[in-house]
Chains A and B, each alone.
Chain A
Amino acid sequence: MNGFVIGIIQQSLIFSIAVMGIYITYKILKFADLSADGSFTLGASVSAILITKGMNPFISLGFAMLAGAMAGVATGLLNVKLKIQDMLSSILVMVGLYSINLRIMMGKANLPLLNQESIFTDKNILLMLCIITFICAAFFTLLFKTKLGYLLKGIGDNENMITSLGINTGSIKIFALSLSNAFIALSGGILAQYQGFSDINMGTGTMIMGLASIIIGYNIFRKINLSNSSIFCIIGTLLYRTSIALSLRFGFNPSDLNLISSIIVIIALSIGNSRELLANRRRYSLGKEKFKYLLGLKKAGSRNA
């Protein structure tokens, strides 16, 4: 049982880095970036192949981030320069990345890292992951207090306004996409080292996982004014991974996980929406009561007259 819980925490810490990346595009930039599935695998395969070639595992993660950033730049260029719709350009990149990832892993669908050095060698895995996630979260938090961070927020909010500040919004978008995908690729690289192999399909469902975690975190913390959104990325991921792990314990197949993720997203979204509906209905019924009261007054008045 103890191992079960620690496993969930470790995986959540790894995935929460990808979730922060997805948060940048989905929540802040309001850009539907579906290339996350591709860049997650990209990070994993780049890190894995470099380690098998004998590179230091930490440096390999740096290259994984660089590769992810380049994937983000590709999406951004398609959208900004060639004026392809945001979702379509990210799908194009994701599809293209599948072939690229296979090339990187030299045609193999699975690249094992047996007896290779990793960032976890001779170290406490949980502590290592805590440190890495903390660094990412701190960077994430500090970035959105800087002028550049506010520009990113502003573009998602009102692009027109940012243009009127004399800023080329296109290049800021490309930067944000590359940053987001660098986070996602880093997460993929760490996962490959954690589980000891890179797989061509390991990124499938990253986007939906990110959405689920963000929406869960967002719905829980909606009432609390949290200036630090990295915390709710981490807690959202933790809750999501827990529910996935529990559903596996209840006897679902691992192949059912994508369906379960979709259902979790649907439930989380509909809870958020129905909460608003409920509030409206309550307001409506209050209004009705007031109306009834007025009618009653009128009746009483006519009776008294």
Chain B
Amino acid sequence: MLKFENISKTFNKGSANEQMVFNNFSMDIGKDDFICVLGSNGAGKSTLLNIISGKTRVDEGKMILNGIDVTMDTEYEKCKRISRIFQDPSLGTNPSMTIYENLSMAKNKGKRFGLSFLINKKDEEYFKKILGVLCLGLEDKLNTPVSQLSGGQRQSLALIMAVIGEPELLLLDEHTAALDPKTSEIVMDITEKIVKEKGLTTIMVTHNIDHALKYGNRLIMLHRGNKLIDISGDAKNSLTKKELLGLFKDISDKNLFN
């Protein structure tokens, strides 16, 4: 459903700090994929997500989403079809608005924001139902401003808001990294539940090897803009933490000698 064809991206082109992140990078993402992307710092994980969500423009190559060429689309055009959750819990919600208002905004995603009233009393039941999935008690706090919620609650709300508009692709950018270990597990469980329920195509960038092994059906390890490993299905399930850590060690050794 998402296809990269020979993507190239170089930052600070022509200057002393020139840095090539991707060179002729190609990738194919299927409809049912839940991909975990691993890699050391500077491997190109964030750039990959930025390219998909339109924050960064590619120098060369094509990006095709469900048969439509979206290479030259601006960020907000891509955002109509793609949802993204960030590492920072404050980025995914509007802090001064209530949960109700935030959900109403998210529900209208991709549609026109005109002069009709935003708040619709009929939505209340629906919102309570989808918040009930989280089991965080948010359904009783619909009129609480989001600024009063904890990081984990906000991130869970951001997740609900990201999927409420049925996006074609869900991007998770280390979305549990800023949370404590317990909350991080809860949010990951909720994520898996929602992704399975809605059958969303998902790309998750993470530094947590346990998460990368436990969740998803496909694992990609990036190194300097290349796929070091790309395994899915049974091969992924049989992968152990030790093997993965070995790979990480190989990379750091290589970096040392280069």
Within 8 Å by CB of B113, from A151, A160, A164, lies A151
Q: Which residues of B contact A148 (CB under 8 A)?
A: 113-115
Q: Which residues of A contact B92 (CB under 8 A)?
A: 161, 164
Q: How near does chain A come to B146, taking the closest CB pair, in angstroms?
A: 10
Closest A residue to B147 by beta carbon equals A157
| Interface-facing stretch out of B93-101, B188-196, B216-224 | B93-101
| Interface-facing stretch out of A46-54, A115-123, A165-173, A284-292 | A165-173
Query: Are B101 and A150 interface neighbours, CB within 8 A?
Result: yes
Query: Are B116 and A157 interface neighbours, CB within 8 A?
Result: no
Q: Give complex CA distance A149, B114 in Å.
A: 9
Tell whether B118 is near chain A: CB-to-CB under 8 Å: yes
Tell whether B5 is near chain A: CB-to-CB under 8 Å: no
Query: Are A146 and B84 interface neighbours, CB within 8 A?
Result: no
Q: Give complex CA distance A143, B84 in Å.
A: 29
Interface size class of B (residues with CB under 8 A): 20 to 34
Query: Are A166 and B116 interface neighbours, CB within 8 A?
Result: no
Which residues in chain A, 124-154, are within 8 Å of chain B measured between CB atoms? 143, 145-151, 153-154
Query: Are A160 and B91 interface neighbours, CB within 8 A?
Result: yes
Q: Give complex CA distance A166, B70 in Å.
A: 14
Q: Which residues of B contact A157 (CB under 8 A)?
A: 94-97
Query: Are B115 and A163 interface neighbours, CB within 8 A?
Result: no
Which residues in chain B, 49-83, are within 8 Å of chain A measured between CB atoms? 74-77, 79-81, 83
Q: Give complex CA distance A150, B108 in Å.
A: 11
Query: Are A164 and B79 interface neighbours, CB within 8 A?
Result: yes
Per-position contact with A for B198-240: 1 when CB-CB < 8 Å, else 0? 0000000000000000000000000000000000000000000
Tell whether A158 is near chain B: CB-to-CB under 8 Å: yes
Q: A147-B115, A147-B118, A150-B97 are in contact. Are A165 and B108 (CB under 8 A)?
A: yes
Closest A residue to B106 by beta carbon equals A165
From DSSP, what is the main secondary structure of chain A's interface residues?
helix
Query: Are A146 and B118 interface neighbours, CB within 8 A?
Result: yes
Within 8 Å by CB of B110, from A151, A154, A166, lies A166
Q: Give complex CA distance A167, B105 in Å.
A: 11
Q: How near does chain B come to A131, taking the closest CB pair, in angstroms?
A: 23
Q: How near does chain A come to B94, taking the closest CB pair, in angstroms?
A: 5
Q: Which residues of B contact A163 (CB under 8 A)?
A: 75-76, 79
Q: Give complex CA distance A168, B76 in Å.
A: 6
Q: A145-B119, A150-B118 are in contact. Are A164 and B84 (CB under 8 A)?
A: yes
Most buried by A among B79, B94, B95: B94
Residues of B within 8 A of A (CB): 74-77, 79-81, 83-84, 86, 90-97, 101, 104-106, 108-110, 112-119, 162
26 contacts between A and B (CB under 8 A): A145-B119, A146-B114, A146-B115, A146-B117, A147-B112, A147-B113, A147-B115, A147-B118, A151-B113, A153-B94, A153-B96, A154-B105, A157-B94, A157-B96, A158-B91, A158-B93, A161-B94, A163-B76, A163-B79, A164-B84, A165-B105, A165-B109, A166-B80, A166-B81, A166-B109, A169-B76
